[in-house]
Structure 1
Amino acid sequence: MALLCNGQPTKSTLPSRYQCGHANSPKILLGPGVSLGEMSWTALIQYRKPNGDQSFDCAGSLINERYVLTAAHCVRGIPRAWTIVGVRLGEHDLSTDQDCEQDGPDRYCDDGHQDLPIEKIIVHEDYNRTKKNYLNDIALIRLERDVIFSEYINPICLPVEDEDRQRNITGQRAVEVGWSGTYEYSGSNMRKKSFFRIQDHQSCNEGYKTRGVTLSDTQLCASREYDDSDCHAIEGSPLMQAVGGRTHFLYGISSFGPDRCGTNGTPDVFTNVAKFVDWIESKLE
């Protein structure tokens, strides 16, 4: 944590697995819906367009009180006339200022979202946006000030420990959470879950080679468990697993996938976060 020690700020660190990745919601939805407080690390990156309009076209994940993790192509290689304005945390429904839910006779509301300015953006040194395979598609956003944690804003865990980094998740289920849409399509106002199955890397790579794309072991492939007629979650969205049934770990960052919304059968490609934990820790201040 960035606390003062002998008058000097200490280096920002990643939280332990006991301080992150908890759902926090009194009501966990089993389907594609997401309840208030559930997956409270989801972040939105806000852009300003040439006409003055502002929109959220990429997502990210809060990893501690000062940093958001996202895809490099969300912050480098965006349309030339766009400006990155800031990061929004604690958002649930983009159509309302304060989000509320009814649970039987009880109604509960969140504390409202937080819009935070950006101090700097750190893109992986080996990311090359001209390459079709999006290698090293990862970036950190350092916020200007510390986030105020609440029931509705908390960090997700990263696979820091060896047992978490080396976990073989091929064939296992994972969940992506975010707002659906693309640069061309303004999607849902509400967060939603999409359920994936982690695919064998070799077979996925062979499939993508027919498209002229060669994947690396720093990438994950995952296929949707069932047809989804909606567009996939916006780029930068987290792909997670609940380890031990409750603590959520960030294993993938949405990078690229099928060319059209609703395309079925071709896996999506995610940046493999476990391969970049050392890089992430080296950039924290």
Structure 2
Amino acid sequence: AHCVSKEALPANWRLSAVRLGEWNLETPQDCQFDKKGNQLCSDPPIDFSIEEEICHPLYNETTKKYDIALLRLQEKVNFNNFTTPICLPGSASSSASNYEGVAMGIAGWGITEQFNKSLKKLKALIQGENLERCKAKYRMDIDNTQICAGGEKGVDSCNGDSGGPLMFVQSFHGRESFFLIGVISFGPTPCGQKGFPGVYTRVDTFISWIQNTIRK
């Protein structure tokens, strides 16, 4: 997740639950037809109440640094074929890549080019961008706790996607697995401008904080 200051939310709003296993918001269960015309349906999505919201203590709303949060659920998640955990990357010290030129995936129900939130989870591939060029575009300090990615016209994360994943597929124990490389933080207004990448919190620089926090 990413951080939201209390002042940014109406007084009567509170994050109370998360939903896992969702794709199409218009249907109680997600179904598709295969090439033979057979209907294939996933398990219904499941809502989990939130026990605790833990925003990084150094989060700065102005600079958007340390824009990462954890949600502790009230009960254990039983995973299935349609709801599985994403892998955490290794620590930043073990990763020589700054992800420049690397293809990564984003997904969410955020605002589209029609300026409406999508009712189906959309996904796209974007490429990592050079941090110095990104810093020059935004005229603000962007450091190695962040990743810049995208910049192709019309292909971007947007409002409503914040807190969602920046993903990288990598072989792990002999199979392809998704790794959570970044968390969607902020980007240009309007979204999807050519030459303006989005900015993501770089997860591998927060592995120690994540591990220490979930052990408490």
Give the letter aligned to residue 49 of structure 2: P
Decide which of 51, 63, 67 is 1:119's aligned counterpart. 51
Decide which of 190, 195, 203 is 1:265's aligned counterpart. 195
Partner of 2:210: 280
Decide which of 78, 96, 110 is 2:27's aligned counterpart. 96
Decide which of 141, 144, 151 is 2:81's aligned counterpart. 151
User: How far apart are 1:229 and its partner, in Å?
Assistant: 8.9
Give the letter aligned to residue 72 of structure 2: R
Partner of 1:7: none
Q: Distance between the aligned counterparts of 1:134 and 1:230, measured in 2?
A: 16
Task: Give TM-score scaled by structure 2 length.
Answer: 0.87
Which whole-Å deviations, capped at 9, do the CAs of 1:176-231 have from their partners, x for residues lacking one?
0111229xx6411111112111011112112211xxx2112101000144534995
Which whole-Å deviations, capped at 9, do the CAs of 1:234-262 have from their partners, x for residues lacking one?
11110111013821111111000001134
Give the letter aligned to residue 154 of structure 1: T
Identity %: 34
- SS of structure 2 residue aligned to 1:204: helix
Structure 1 runs not aligned, ≥5 long = 1-69
Within-5 A mapping of 1:1-285: 70-73=1-4, 76-81=6-11, 82-105=13-36, 106-129=38-61, 131=62, 133-160=63-90, 165-181=95-111, 186-209=116-139, 213-228=140-155, 231=158, 234-244=161-171, 246-285=176-215
Q: Distance between the aligned counterparts of 1:262 and 1:193, measured in 2?
A: 14
Q: Distance between the aligned counterparts of 2:16 and 2:8, measured in 1?
A: 13
Q: Distance between the aligned counterparts of 1:229 and 1:165, measured in 2?
A: 25
- SS of structure 1 residue aligned to 2:15: strand
Give the letter aligned to residue 91 of structure 1: E
In angstroms, what is the RMSD of aligned CA positions? 2.3
Give the letter aligned to residue 222 of structure 1: A
Is the 1:195–1:225 Cα contact (8 Å) retained in structure 2? no
- SS of structure 2 residue aligned to 1:181: coil
User: How far apart are 1:83 and its partner, in Å?
Assistant: 1.6
Q: Distance between the aligned counterparts of 1:187 and 1:173, measured in 2?
A: 25
Is the 1:180–1:230 Cα contact (8 Å) retained in structure 2? yes
Q: Distance between the aligned counterparts of 2:68 and 2:157, measured in 1?
A: 25
Structure 2 runs not aligned, ≥5 long = none
For structure 1, which segment, 218-227 or 81-90, has the greater mean C-alpha deviation from structure 2 after superposition?
Answer: 218-227
Which whole-Å deviations, capped at 9, do the CAs of 1:84-130 have from their partners, x for residues lacking one?
1211100010011011010122211111001000110111010022x
- SS of structure 1 residue aligned to 2:141: coil
Against the structure 1 CA distance between its residues 230 and 71, is the aligned structure 2 distance closer, same or farther, given a 3 Å change threshold?
Answer: closer
User: How far apart are 1:163 and its partner, in Å?
Assistant: 7.9
Give the letter aligned to residue 141 of structure 2: T
Task: Give TM-score scaled by structure 1 length.
Answer: 0.67
Against the structure 1 CA distance between its residues 86 and 138, is the aligned structure 2 distance closer, same or farther, given a 3 Å change threshold?
Answer: same
